[in-house]
A and B are shown apart, each in its own frame.
Chain A
Amino acid sequence: MGRFIVQRLLQAAVLVVLVATVVFFLGRLTGNPVDMILPEDATDADRAALIEALGLDRPLHEQYAIFAFNAVQGDLGTSIRYHEPVMVTFLSRLPNTILLATPSMIIAVLLAVPLGVFSALRRGRMLDRVSGTIAVLGIATPNFWLGIMLIFLFSVQLGWLPSGRMGGPDHYVLPAITLGTFLVAGFMRLIRSSMLEILDSEFVKMARIKGLSEFRVIWKHCLRNALIPVLTLWGVFMAGLVTGAIVTETVFAWPGIGRLTYEAVIFRDFPLLQGVIIMAAVLIVVINLLVDVLYAYVDPRIRFG
């Protein structure tokens, strides 16, 4: 188990370095960052000054070294729009995203597990068909459109819920639904299909031979095994969650790192975007690592391989 963790840590570190490098080179090679920063009426002198200030006149590998050196210390540059270190901006917005994402995920799991399990148990019947349809719709509906339509219905037409920004509990409802929908749909389908497979297993038959109650058979023997694919595929869900967060926060003007990313794009704030991406990589990698450890704990074949 210890070896497993160390291995994953190394992989994580490599991934972050890889992402940072790619981001660095994409920024330098596919365009001149200076052009994006300067206003249109900048003079050549302004340009030259900025180039020197940013160190863009130095050879590429030197730039990279400086970049890496700074990055490791937590200095990811300064945001053009906010005039403050990227790291600071990122960290100030991060809690807001966590506040939105966490309840969304918890509710998604709480909904998806029973739906998935019961869909598998009552395969082909009403519940299965209905939840299956909802899941398919959930996956097909673009996040941003769902958010806008929800705002239209519940905020504009009905006036029940606010249309955006952070605030009291009612501000969380629509964004959480928007963000959570694809999670619920994805989890539910996964749990359903893995339950169906497991229900046919010999060890389930064995559990029944023992005379265990149906409750025990399903919720002890089946579920634990059914959740394993959810953990192994967590990385993919995580990537989707980040994508969803960017879109959702943009639609609902939620002041988190998703919206920060959007602002960086709209305002062509390259340092900010670069920094956000690298920090996002770190965040993703850390969370995936934690999930991997959880997975190793849940599946003894990994723990005592």
Chain B
Amino acid sequence: MNDGLVLDVRDLHTHLFLRRGIVKAVDGISFSLRRGEVLGLVGESGCGKSMTALSLMRLLPKESARTVNGQVLLEGEDLLTKSERKMREVRGRRISMILQDPQTSLNPVFTIGNQLMEVLDRNGGVDGESLDTQALEALRRVRISAPEQRLRQYPHQLSGGMKQRVVGTIAMNRAPSVLIADEPTTALDPTIQLQYLNLLKELQRKSNMAMLFITHDFGVVARMCDRVAVMYAGRIVETGPVREIFDRPAHPYTSALIASVPKIDDDTDRLYAIEGEPPVPYALPQGCRFAPRCPFVEERCRAAYPDRLTVGPDHTVECWKATAA
């Protein structure tokens, strides 16, 4: 078990079974997380990032989605083979998640305190504190003002940023080994986003928690992550340390994503946007899925899907144009 790997995802396949056909939302991805590391999972909407997160938590919509293959090793144990009962013990305690939209993550008819209590330790936590004390501690940890008041308030009485902090403290309360953050700042006011990211980073550092940070914004990746995995149409096309990826992106899609982050000292008139659209999920091409939009496309790109190549220290890519290290 111990190669320091807290999370080891191997060849994960999750399919969506819709009326029109089968969508291979997650089509064979592998990645790993070490203790204390933040891995960014980047990609456009619909590339399968959220599906990956739900697959790890085993919270896929039962009627339409199913993980059909792969292993998800959390500290050595495969989550995919666990019974639902065992999985429930794992959720919240060893692996947890922050959802994207704070407006809908909290139940509107129960108080903050009520919803927070659900993850507190009945037996009094580490020092035998009462539930109230634990709750106040939890709120203070995420720097929520007037915590005593907040406990008695309802979600609609809190701002978006505050709600997301509550969601954060609920998710992290039992000190999970892995925290999945699914675009936690996308739905927040831009002015609040930075604050929240900093808070998240700080908490992650303090608890040495491993984090899977899902986002579509490479700028956020630069700020938050140690390593990054770039996802496109259900597959991870490039993985590597953040510094390495920014300096030497090996996949054209990665380059495009990096280029589309607006920089304040940029002289350009137009924002860079990647041309074209991601492939239709029901009709994935045989070859490289980025080929239709790739500025460097060649014949062999359309013919077959590229093998995975190592192009640098801990840096892999799936592209025919890449050169091995």
Chain A interface (Cβ < 8 Å from any Cβ of B): 123, 200-203, 205-214, 216, 221, 224-225, 228, 298-301, 304
- Cβ A301 vs Cβ B107 within 8 A: no
Q: Is the CB of A213 within 8 A of B105?
A: no
Q: Does B89 contact A (CB under 8 A)?
A: yes
A202-B101, A304-B154 known; A208+B107 contact, CB < 8 A: no
Asked if B106 contacts A210 (CB within 8 A), the reply is: no
- Which chain A residues lie closer than 8 Å to B109 at the CB level? 224-225, 228, 298-300
Q: B107 to A203, Cβ gap below 8 A?
A: yes
Which of A200, A209, A225, A304 sits near B107, CB closer than 8 Å? A225
List residues of chain B with CB within 8 A of the CB of A208: 59, 91
A-B contact count (CB 8 A): 75
Whether, in the assembled complex, B118 has its beta carbon less than 8 Å from a beta carbon of chain A, the answer is yes
Closest residue of A by beta carbon distance from B108: A301
B92 touches A300 (CB 8 A): no
Bound-complex Cα distance A59 to B111 (A): 60
Separation of A205 and B180 alpha carbons in the complex (Å): 14
Besides the contacts A209-B59, A210-B118, what 14 more A-B pairs have beta carbons closer than 8 Å?
A202-B99, A202-B104, A203-B104, A206-B105, A206-B106, A206-B167, A207-B107, A207-B118, A211-B88, A213-B88, A225-B108, A225-B109, A299-B108, A300-B156
What distance in Å separates the Cβ of A127 from its nearest Cβ neighbour in chain B?
16
Name the 9 nearest CB pairs between A and B, nearest first: A211-B92, A202-B104, A211-B91, A300-B154, A203-B107, A210-B92, A206-B105, A209-B97, A224-B109
- A300 to B119 Cα, complex, angstroms: 22
Which residues of chain B are within 8 angstroms of A205 by Cβ–Cβ distance?
A: 59, 99, 105
* In contact, A203 and B91 (Cβ under 8 angstroms): no
Per the bound structure, the CA–CA distance linking A216 and B119 in Å amounts to 13
Which of A201, A207, A216, A228 sits near B104, CB closer than 8 Å?
A: A201
| Given the contacts A224-B109, A298-B109, A211 and B89 also touching, CB distance less than 8 Å | yes
Report how far A224 CA is from B101 CA in the complex, Å. Answer: 21
Q: Which residues of B contact A209 (CB under 8 A)?
A: 57, 59, 91-92, 96-97, 99, 171
B231 interface residue, CB < 8 Å from A?
no
Q: Once bound together, how far apart are the Cα atoms of A187 and B38, in whole Å? A: 49
A83 and B90 CA atoms in complex are apart in Å by 75
B157 in the interface (beta carbon within 8 A): yes
Q: 17 pairs across A/B with beta carbons < 8 Å?
A: A123-B63, A205-B59, A205-B99, A205-B105, A206-B170, A207-B107, A209-B92, A211-B89, A211-B92, A212-B88, A214-B88, A216-B118, A299-B109, A301-B108, A301-B156, A304-B153, A304-B157
| A-contact bits for B46-64, CB 8 A (1 contact / 0 none) | 0000000000010101010
Instruction: Say how far A302's CB is from chain B's closest CB, in angstroms.
Output: 10
Q: Which of chain B's residues have a CB closer than 8 A to the CB of A203?
A: 104-108
Closest residue of chain B to A303, judged by CB?
B154
- Chain B stretch 159-184: residues in CB contact (< 8 A) with chain A: 167, 170-171
Cα A201 to Cα B101 in complex, Å, equals: 11
In the bound complex, what is the Cα–Cα distance between A211 and B87 (angstroms)?
A: 8
- The answer to whether A212 and B105 have CB atoms under 8 Å apart is no
Q: Give the residues in chain B near A213, CB-CB below 8 Å.
A: 88
Chain A positions within 8 Å of B107 at CB level: 203, 206-207, 221, 224-225
Q: Give Cα A214 to B89, complex, Å.
A: 12
A201 vs B90: C-alpha distance when bound (angstroms): 22
User: A211 and B154: CB pair below 8 A?
Assistant: no
